[in-house]
């Protein structure tokens, strides 16, 4: 994952003649380098729930839809827009739609008749359910779906429209690795940044044009810091024995 995202970020820097590539112009990269269509369109949302974007695969390629209802929010928080779009790139680059196509006899991988418009794994929250409630509902539906048409249809909705959890988190991981590329991050760390100081994390946030939470989680996943009770702690490097 790390290598794929880092190589794509390097490709971005080369394609756009942007060697530093600190803040990725994700929209331009998606449209002009990857050839993926981006459209703004109202996406229906259950009451008090949010859906920022979704990606679908059509016969002529991918299409990313941004929710027009949140245009002002995206305008005021460009880091959120970059994160959402990078998440969708992750689904495309990691070829998640191939995993969702279970028809082994399908000659055309992306069948126009097959629904490829999947909610993110967090969609159970969009449906007004807690994660625990969601599991209970699915189990209950499974008991009655064999003789109740409406229960079968709802169970099919959950099974067909919700991406697997692993798929959601892979796309999330890709997004952070793409927006905060490994090579550029470590270039900065080698200058002596104090990762126990929040000011250093905010500095990285501004350099990469992402949220402070993405910076923190990225550093945590790289096992460079630990975060407990609002406090940052640098993870000691393992001691390497010298070879005599």
pLDDT score at 180: 96
Task: Judge whether 85 lies within some domain.
Answer: yes
* 93 and 105 inside one domain: yes
* 216 and 153 inside one domain: no
pLDDT score at 102: 46
* 60 and 169 inside one domain: yes
* 89 and 12 inside one domain: yes
Angstrom distances, CA of residue 112 to CA of 9, 39, 43: 31, 19, 20
Q: Which of 38, 34, 33 is nearest to 17 (CA)?
A: 33
Task: Judge whether 53 lies within some domain.
Answer: yes
pLDDT score at 22: 75
50 exposed, middle or buried (CB, 10 Å; 0-12, 13-18, 19+)? middle
Task: Judge whether 240 lies within some domain.
Answer: no
Contact 163, 100 (CB under 8 A): yes
* 112 and 144 inside one domain: no
* 100 and 202 inside one domain: no
Task: Judge whether 241 lies within some domain.
Answer: no
* 35 and 77 inside one domain: yes
The alpha carbon of residue 157 and the mean position of all alpha carbons in its chain are separated, in whole angstroms, by 22
Q: How many domains does the chain have?
A: 3
* 206 and 89 inside one domain: no
pLDDT score at 118: 47
* 91 and 41 inside one domain: yes
What token pair was written down for 94? 């990691």
* 20 and 130 inside one domain: no
What token pair was written down for 196? 């126990």
> What residue numbers bound the domain in which 219 lies?
182-234
pLDDT score at 99: 64
Q: β-strand 53-58 against 61-67: which pairing, if any?
A: antiparallel
* 84 and 112 inside one domain: yes
Task: Judge whether 239 lies within some domain.
Answer: no
pLDDT score at 213: 93
What lies within 8 Å, CB to CB, of 12 at 6+ separation is 18, 21, 24, 29, 33
* 45 and 67 inside one domain: yes
pLDDT digit string (tens) for the chain, length 244 residues: 899 999 999 988 888 776 666 799 999 999 988 999 999 999 876 555 577 888 888 777 889 999 998 999 999 999 999 999 999 899 888 887 776 554 443 333 233 333 444 444 444 433 444 455 556 666 776 777 777 777 676 666 555 445 567 777 888 899 999 999 999 999 999 999 999 999 999 999 999 999 999 999 999 999 999 999 889 999 987 655 445 4
57 exposed, middle or buried (CB, 10 Å; 0-12, 13-18, 19+)? buried
What token pair was written down for 218? 């990225």
pLDDT score at 91: 87
Q: Most distant CA pair in the chain: distance in Å?
A: 73
pLDDT score at 155: 62
pTM over 0.75: no
Return phi, psi of residue 48, to 5°.
65, 20
């Amino acid at each position: 994952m790390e290598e794929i995202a880092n190589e794509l970020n390097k490709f971005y820097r080369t394609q756009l003649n942007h060697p530093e590539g600190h803040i990725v112009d994700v929209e331009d990269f998606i449209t002009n380098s990857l050839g993926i269509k981006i459209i703004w369109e109202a996406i229906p949302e259950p009451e008090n729930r949010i859906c920022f974007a979704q990606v679908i695969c059509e016969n002529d390629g991918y299409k990313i839809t941004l929710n027009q209802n949140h245009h002002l929010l995206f305008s005021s928080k460009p880091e959120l827009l970059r994160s959402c779009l990078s998440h969708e790139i992750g689904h495309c680059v990691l070829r998640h739609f191939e995993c969702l196509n279970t028809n082994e006899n399908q000659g055309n991988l992306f069948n126009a008749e097959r629904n490829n418009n999947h909610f993110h794994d967090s969609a159970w929250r969009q449906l007004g359910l807690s994660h625990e409630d969601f599991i209970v509902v699915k189990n209950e539906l499974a008991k009655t779906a064999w003789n109740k048409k409406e229960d079968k249809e709802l169970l099919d909705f959950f099974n067909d429209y919700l991406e697997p959890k692993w798929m959601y988190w892979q796309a999330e991981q890709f997004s952070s690795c793409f927006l905060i590329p490994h090579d550029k991050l470590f270039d900065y760390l080698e200058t002596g940044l104090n990762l126990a100081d929040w000011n250093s994390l905010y500095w990285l946030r501004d350099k990469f044009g992402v949220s402070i939470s993405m910076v923190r989680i990225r550093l945590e996943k790289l096992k460079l810091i630990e975060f407990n009770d609002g406090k940052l702690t640098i993870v000691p490097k393992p001691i390497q024995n010298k070879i005599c």
